[in-house]
Every structure is written in structure tokens, then in C-alpha cells.
């Protein structure tokens, strides 16, 4: 039975789930692999909640093409305040740390990716009246002030759990449904889908490091 990517993140034979750091690293490796082996980039989606018929995002005209990505120019969970080599820039007081960062010195281009699987919202813990959406947008703004191009993406499953609830619809508190998608809609956030990434890797030599059959977790919504 084909399912969305959230089912892979929840699956475990021994009930001992992988950390999100592991999935961030896997995503980094996948993007490096696609930069060398795929002609097309990943589609970019925007949150667009429609109740009838129920759907919560739509495909945009944008793509992320990881051209030239490598282990040398991407990092996982790096300390963002050292992005430009010292702590004298506007990033010195950065309060958030993107899961994946791509930095192209020649093009002065930076890509930030927030990775989400299960058990964590996109907002994170509120502090001082702001949440992580505000902080990430501020980080992008400060990077651009340093004279760099910068884009921010959220890598997540279309079956992303609302407020840490179960992925099965019947177990979700309906009052909390779509909370992260509503936040993404409000800021015009750019979304990459694990399902599309899995589909791109299915049948490749990288697939075995994810699971035996990535296509099984690459189900896309009928309404796309």
C-alpha cells in the first residue's frame, strides 16, 4: 500500500525512532546526489488551505535545483553565526539554526532548509513574543543585508502532523488541524515535499540507505 512520507518516519520495527538529525543528514545526501544525477529540480509548493474540497497546499511555478551541491558547500545543523567566518556580522545574535545550509561563495548565494519529520511543529517554542517563523524570516533578511541572495525552504511531508498529533486523521484534534500550514500560508513559505524527494531517489543506489522501497512512501495527493 502506497502512503505518504510521514508513515516512514513513524515506522520502526523496534519502536526506537530515528532522530530528526538523521533525516536532515539523509536529506543533505539526497540533495547532493540529485545535483549530480537528476536533470530536473524539486517542485516548490505554497500552503493554500481550502476546506471544500479539503487540501492544504498548491504547486507553484518555482523549483529548487540543487546544481553543484556537494559535501564542501552544504552543512547540517551548523552554527549559523559563523556563516561568514566570524561573529562580527548581523548574524551574531542568530537564535535559530537551519537544518541544512548551502553556500555558494562565487555566486554569493545561500539556501536554508528547515527539515521536519514527526513530533515537532514548524514554530518551535515561543520566546519573547516571537516564534521561529519570525526568526527565520529575520535571518533571511539579515543574510540579504550582507549582500547575499538567500532563499528559505521547509522540507516536510504533505502528511505533516499538526501540533505533534498522530498522522491518522481520526486521531487529530480537529481544532489544531492545519496549524503549521496556516502559519506557512501567512508568511508565503516555500515547501519542498519528502514524497517528491523519495520519488526522485526511488530505484537509485541511494535508496537502500532510506528503506527498501521509497516509492511506497511517495504517495502524492490526488488534488495536485
Closest CA to 46 of 32, 60, 65: 60
Query: Mean pLDDT over residues 199-223, rounded?
Result: 93
Calpha distance 141→148 (Å, rounded) = 10
Asked if pLDDT for residue 164 goes beyond 50, the answer is no
**Residue 173 placed within a domain:** yes
**Residue 224 placed within a domain:** no
Can you give the residue range of the structural domain that contains 37?
6-12+20-217
Looking up cell 488551505 gives: 49
Q: Contact 70/81 with Cβ under 8 angstroms?
A: no
Q: pLDDT at position 92, please? A: 75
**Residue 206 placed within a domain:** yes
Higher pLDDT, 148 or 159: 148
> Quick count: other Cβ atoms within 10 Å of Cβ 99?
22
Q: Which of 15-19, 42-46, 175-179 is the most confident on average?
A: 42-46
High-pLDDT (> 90) share of the chain, %: 55
Q: Contact 122/163 with Cβ under 8 angstroms?
A: no
Calpha distance 11→59 (Å, rounded) = 28
Closest CA to 47 of 58, 33, 32, 61: 58
Total number of domains in the chain: 1
What pairs with residue 111 in β-bridges? 102, 151
pLDDT tens for 79-128 read 888 898 876 677 877 788 899 999 999 999 999 999 998 876 787 655 55
**Residue 130 placed within a domain:** yes
Amino acid at each position: 500500500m502506497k502512503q505518504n512520507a510521514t508513515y516512514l518516519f513513524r515506522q520502526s520495527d523496534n519502536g526506537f525512532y530515528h532522530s530528526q538529525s538523521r533525516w536532515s543528514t539523509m536529506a543533505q545526501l539526497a540533495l547532493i546526489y540529485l545535483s549530480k544525477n537528476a536533470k530536473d529540480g524539486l517542485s516548490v509548493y505554497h500552503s493554500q488551505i481550502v476546506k471544500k474540497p479539503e487540501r492544504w497546499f498548491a504547486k507553484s511555478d518555482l523549483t529548487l535545483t540543487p546544481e553543484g551541491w556537494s559535501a564542501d558547500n552544504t552543512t547540517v545543523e551548523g552554527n549559523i553565526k559563523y556563516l561568514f567566518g566570524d561573529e562580527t556580522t548581523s548574524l551574531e545574535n542568530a537564535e535559530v539554526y537551519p537544518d541544512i545550509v548551502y553556500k555558494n561563495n562565487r555566486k554569493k548565494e545561500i539556501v536554508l532548509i528547515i527539515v521536519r519529520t514527526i513530533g515537532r511543529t514548524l514554530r518551535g517554542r515561543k520566546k519573547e513574543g516571537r516564534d521561529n517563523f519570525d526568526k527565520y524570516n529575520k535571518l533571511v533578511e539579515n543574510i540579504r543585508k550582507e549582500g547575499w541572495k538567500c532563499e528559505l525552504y521547509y522540507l516536510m511531508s504533505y502528511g505533516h502532523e499538526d501540533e505533534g498529533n498522530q498522522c491518522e486523521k481520526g486521531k487529530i484534534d480537529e481544532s489544531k488541524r492545519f496549524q503549521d500550514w496556516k502559519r506557512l500560508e501567512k508568511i508565503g513559505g516555500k515547501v519542498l515535499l519528502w514524497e517528491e524527494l523519495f520519488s526522485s531517489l526511488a530505484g537509485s543506489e541511494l535508496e537502500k540507505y532510506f528503506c527498501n522501497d521509497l516509492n511506497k512512501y511517495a504517495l502524492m495527493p490526488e488534488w495536485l
